[in-house]
Amino acid sequence: MARANWRERIEAARVQRVAAQRTRVRRTVTHRDGARVQVDGQNLLNFCGNDYLGLSQHFAVIGALQDTAAREGAGGVASHLVCGHHAVHEALERELAEWIGAPRALLFGSGYLANLAVVQALLDDQSVCVQDRLNHASLIDAARLTGCRLRRYPHGDPEGAIRQLRSMPEQMAMLVTDGVFSMDGDVAPLRELALVARLQKALLYVDDAHGVGVLGPDGRGSVAAARLGVAEVPLQLATLGKALGGYGAAVLGEEDVIGHLAETARPYIYTTAIPPAQAAATLAAVRLARSEHWRRDKLRDLVARFRERAQGRGLELMESSTPIQPVLCGDDGRALALAQALEHAGYWVAPIRPPTVPEGKARLRVTLSALHGIGDVDGLVDTLAKARDRAELGLPIVDAAPAEPVAVRRFAPVR
């Protein structure tokens, strides 16, 4: 039998993606200025980033990055356990742990690496990992790579979780969920899941990438918002690249569990530490996120404004109170066309299609930031509703003549 040809497989997969309107195109940003960006030669108002608190360009964050890079260089040099663990890494871990309310934190290069590390270090092929069906891809991949038994329960269904755990009563178990789901924007039922984990003697791990900085008292995330602590949630993940505007992630939890990860987790042991300058920038961002409550207050007001206006115009929203506000389109082609119409009018919103979301659930993933204003939100909703109306009348969604572009203003760094 002839060996399968890898070039033919690649080409067949590409043809299939084109036919299904599921090709992915990388866009090039040439400049960022607050919520406004220049991308592929266009000036657009960005509604698809995750800079929820608007900290990525804050003068104190940029200043910390520049000052530390000038003193300590551009790179992390080595892994943490060799010679890459810098004093600023230590300071950031302490600050994060104090903020979130956990005994200890451990830095990673990304949330993806952190999730691989947690599952790989704590489970084996005799264990079971029970996960929400809409968990982030990194959590699913982590369980598959570990070789443990992966069981998934219906989205947001604690009873489904307990059924899965009861079906494998002898195995060591981990119950894993996103805190805020990245494509739906809803919050996991953490109090109910904590009860399930306690009754089934499972370790509860919460990936709070989209919750930390945004939800809970002082922005401590979805776990704190649910009035839970490390006793109920022994491990949680905080990303440094969303509300905190930087890059990397941290796993926070009990001292002995974090110590175990530091000594055994392959994605921690065998990778270079994040640059000290990046850690310093994130340290500055954490301090701002903890103290500047007006950012979360403004974000909540913008979310409420968007939902009120969108529902008033008959747009189909999902149940989300977070800055992630999906607008359901259903059909892949419709989502693409509406995103094109928005871009034509000066708004950048990402169309999200399967396999990232379930079949028939294509959507526009609108994300809000403290950098946006009320007029920005109103303009987006009005433009989207008009494009939807044109589509329903069978008219071209995009006018032949381009709309006036969203004005690009030059801002001083956000203070």
The answer to whether 28 is annotated as binding is: no
What integer pLDDT is reported at residue 17 of this predicted model? Answer: 87
Burial 105-116 (b: 16+ CB within 10 A, else e): bbbbbbbbbbbb
Yes or no: say if 76 and 274 are a contact pair by the CB < 8 Å rule.
yes
What integer pLDDT is reported at residue 319 of this predicted model? Answer: 93
% of the chain surpassing 70 pLDDT: 96
The answer to whether 182 is annotated as binding is: yes
Q: What is the pLDDT of residues 220-237, one digit of tens each?
A: 999 999 999 999 999 999
Using only C-alpha atoms, the chain has a radius of gyration, in whole angstroms, of 22
Q: What is the pLDDT of residues 49-71, one digit of tens each?
A: 999 999 999 999 999 999 999 99
The answer to whether 210 is annotated as binding is: yes
Q: What is d(CA 134, CA 128) in angstroms, rounded to the nearest whole number? A: 18
Domains parsed from the chain with CATH numbers: 28-53+292-392 (3.90.1150.10), 63-291 (3.40.640.10)
Q: What is the mean pLDDT of residues 379-398?
A: 87
What integer pLDDT is reported at residue 27 of this predicted model? Answer: 87
Q: What is the pLDDT of residues 15-51, one digit of tens each?
A: 988 888 788 888 899 999 999 999 988 999 999 999 9
Query: What's the distance, Cα to Cα, between the start and end of the chain in Å?
Result: 66
State yes or no: pLDDT of 410 exceeds 50: no
State yes or no: pLDDT of 403 exceeds 60: no
State yes or no: pLDDT of 399 exceeds 70: no
- Residue 412 banded pLDDT, cuts 50, 70, 90: very low
What integer pLDDT is reported at residue 392 of this predicted model? Answer: 81
State yes or no: pLDDT of 414 exceeds 50: no
The answer to whether 367 is annotated as binding is: no
The answer to whether 112 is annotated as binding is: yes
State yes or no: pLDDT of 409 exceeds 60: no
The answer to whether 239 is annotated as binding is: yes
The answer to whether 24 is annotated as binding is: yes
Amino acid sitting at position 244? L
Q: What is the mean pLDDT of residues 266-290?
A: 97
DSSP structure class, residue 83 = I
